Amino acid sequence: MKLRPAAILPLVFVAATLVATFAQCGDGRAATAPGAGVPPMPATQEPKPTVTVPPKDSIRLLVSGAMSGRLEPCGCASGQLGGLARRMQHIGEMRNYDLLLEGGNLVETNTELDLMKLYTAKSVLFDMQHRYDALGVGAKDLLLPPAEYAAFLGDAPLVATNLAHKTEGWPGKPFIEKDVRGVKVRVVSFLLALPKELTGAESPVSLLANAEAWQAARAGADAATRFVVMAHGDDVQIRALIPQLQPAPDLVVGVDQGYIEPTAAATPVAGVPLVFTGIRGRVLLSLSLWRDASGPRAVGELIPLPGSRTVPGGGGDPNVRDAIVRHRHEVKDGNVLENMARQLPTPNGAVYVGSEGCKGCHPTAYGVWAKEGSKHFNAWKTLEVAEKDPTRYGWPVTAYPDCVSCHVVGHREQSGFLSFADSPGLAGVGCERCHGPGSDHVAAPEKNRLGLIGGVDKSMLCIQCHDFEQSPNFLFGDKWPVIQHGREPNQIKK
């Protein structure tokens, strides 16, 4: 169906960061009311959400969370959202906010690369012009080496309300308080489950009872103090937490790794507005918070963070872009790719042999893989070409582990890809990327048959790299015929 362009033009183009979804946090049922007796809404009619205009003295927050190591989108596909440079550009443009909040889970894993990302993110969030007011602690943050984490974030406003950490100098505080035009706002952060690696008796971290931690965070606050709770867990855990917090907070910001797409609409839970940050820092949530006779209220605006297809690097704050480019070069200069290589066991315990080792017995399959234009065959070359294109990257893509991991065989695994100079036969997405290391199979093909790594469904293997951001147009059914090779004719059992 088609909406008249003339009618929508004034509404639709408020720079690139539109999609302003207002919704009120009341009884949860108010959305539209076209009027009684009106026939079913024709599909061409856009619903009219009830717009709640926040009072002028409301507290304005910019919220994000679960960056998961995405300092910026990888750039594999156009249309990827997020990145610190775009985020800070938007924050810099918005001069009327009161609080900048980052939920936490800044990194995804606990490698040397993650520490370097943490350091860069910390520099951007806390050392540049627009300094964040509070940073929560997520489960993934806790997997980083605690001494380094504490050292990097020692002077950051790190808030971890229900965490007890044995590490000396652990910088987490039970709350962060800021005065906003005479109103005190306290920010607290709850972690609702420890990562399994930290649940043992030897763990340096333990969780305090939520109710007790909440009371401790409220200590000394007056009735006018606003409380913003950042909660790390899944949405079920977060909804269960809210009734435990009495007196109730003014806002709960959920940091749920499974909640890809947030909405600006605050959902009331036990009378408390609940919003989610989304993941990978793809969007910025702009919220206004106030109280009225019915309790705490929040309305929001979702700010997606798209990049430009024609501006080199996609755009964003130039200083942040410089910081990220510097990070990329430091990763190269520090040989991080090679440092991270060959640390993990292979999936089947065998050794990688490279696709050339498969060719002799599997010439048909090899031919399908190596045919002209094969993206898997040319995956390493794709990185090299991208690296040389200043309009796309302008930094050493072939030395950055996040990029390399999807363009080689056996990244981080013993006998896997180390560098192009060391292991050219493992550059590109070769046979063993899907079938696993082949040394045992080569030695005794009948005895040691290879299927797919982990015996998973083919499509599940593909989406390890072809995920919703890196390959938004990836459809297994379309792509499978391209790489499908089948068995060699002489290997098919009659």
For residues 398-457, which are near other proteins according to CB under 8 A? 457
Single residue of 182, 200, 373, 477 touching other proteins by CB under 8 A? 477
Nearer to other proteins (CB atom), residue 46 or residue 197: 46
Shortest reach from residue 333's CB to other proteins, in Å:
7
Neighbours of 347 (CB within 10 A): 15
Minimum distance between the CB of residue 273 and other proteins, rounded to whole angstroms? 11
Between CA 327 and CA 123 the distance in angstroms is 11
Residues 6+ apart with CB under 8 A from 391: 312
When binding is defined by CB under 8 A, the residue of 384, 459, 461, 464 that contacts other proteins is: 459
Among 140, 239, 328, 407, binds other proteins (CB under 8 A): 239
Contact call for residue 461 and other proteins (CB under 8 A): no
Per CB under 8 A, the segment of 181-189, 235-243, 394-402, 417-425 that binds other proteins is 235-243
Residues in contact with other proteins, shown as a per-residue x/- string from 1 to 30 under the rule CB under 8 A: xxx-xx-xx--xx-xx-xx-x-x----xxx
Q: How far apart are CA 262 and CA 279, in angstroms?
A: 8
Our CB check for other proteins shows the closer of 112 and 384 to be 112
Number of residues that bind other proteins (CB under 8 A): 90
CB 134 within 8 A of CB 176: yes
Positions in 86-145 near other proteins (CB under 8 A): 88-93, 95, 123, 127-129
User: Least distance (Å) from other proteins to the CB of residue 192?
Assistant: 12
Contacts of 385 (CB under 8 A, 6+ apart): none
Could you count the other beta carbons within 10 Å of the beta carbon of residue 146?
Answer: 19
Q: Exactly one of 482, 487, 488, 491 binds other proteins (CB under 8 A); which one?
A: 482
Interface residue with other proteins among 118, 153, 320, 431 (CB under 8 A) is 320
Q: Which of 212, 468, 488, 491 binds other proteins (CB under 8 A)?
A: 468
Length of the chain: 494
Q: What is the largest CA-CA distance in the chain?
A: 83
Contact set for other proteins, span 151-180 (CB under 8 A): 151
Nearer to other proteins among residue 109 and residue 473 (C-beta): 473
Nearest distance, CB of residue 264 and other proteins, angstroms: 11
* Residue that has been written with the tokens 């070409």 in this structure: 385
- CA-nearest of 113, 173, 6 to 335 is 113
Per DSSP, which regions of 364-455 are E strands? Answer: none
**Does the footprint of other proteins cover residue 343 (CB under 8 A)?**
no
Q: Please state, in angstroms and rounded to a whole number, the distance separating the CA atoms of residues 369 and 434.
A: 12
Contact between 196 and other proteins by CB under 8 A: the answer reads no
Q: 270 or 361: whose CB is closer to other proteins?
A: 270
Asked if 480 is part of the footprint of other proteins (rule: CB under 8 A), the reply reads yes
Nearest distance from C-beta of residue 13 to other proteins, angstroms: 5
Name residues contacting other proteins, limited to 32-71 (CB under 8 A): 32-41, 43-44, 46-47
Phi and psi for 402 in degrees, rounded to 5? -60, -35
Among residues 109, 77, 122, which one has the least CA distance to residue 401?
109
Q: Which of 26, 195, 304, 425 binds other proteins (CB under 8 A)?
A: 304
Task: Residue 354: name the closest of 380, 389, 386, 388 by CA.
Answer: 380
CA nearest 28: which of 386, 354, 297, 221?
Answer: 297
- Name residue 205's beta-bridge partners: 165
Q: Which of residues 258-277 bind other proteins (CB under 8 A)?
A: 259-261, 263, 265, 267, 269
Burial class (CB in 10 A: 0-12, 13-18, 19+), 5: exposed
From candidates 182, 360, 481, 489, binder to other proteins by CB under 8 A:
481
How far is Cα 106 from Cα 114, in angstroms, rounded to an integer? 9
* Stretch binding other proteins (CB under 8 A), from 199-207, 212-220, 326-334, 423-431: 326-334
Instruction: State the minimum distance, in angstroms, from the CB of residue 91 to other proteins.
Output: 8
Query: CB–CB of 433/452 below 8 Å?
Result: no
**Do residues 275 and 285 touch, judged by C-beta distance below 8 A?**
yes
Q: Is the CB of 324 or the CB of 408 nearer to other proteins? A: 324
Judged by CB, which is closer to other proteins: 259, or 369?
A: 259
Q: Are 248 and 272 within 8 A, CB to CB?
A: yes
As measured in angstroms, the least distance from the Cβ of 251 to other proteins is 16
Q: Are 248 and 296 in contact (CB under 8 A)?
A: yes
> Which CB sits closer to other proteins, 82 or 438?
82
Could you give the C-alpha distances from 183 to 59, 180, 228, 229, in angstroms and in order? 9, 5, 13, 17
3-class DSSP state of 349: coil
Binding residue for other proteins (CB under 8 A) from 273, 300, 306, 410?
Answer: 306
227, 186 contact by CB (below 8 A)? yes
Of the ranges 57-65, 241-249, 355-363, 468-476, which one interacts with other proteins (CB under 8 A)?
468-476
Q: Which range of residues in 56-64, 169-177, 228-236, 397-405 is near other proteins by CB under 8 A?
A: 228-236
Contact 126, 93 (CB under 8 A): no
Phi, psi angles (nearest 5°) of residue 449: -75, 150
Candidate segments 162-170, 223-231, 321-329, 398-406, binder of other proteins by CB under 8 A: 321-329
Query: Does 385 interact with other proteins (rule: CB under 8 A)?
Result: no
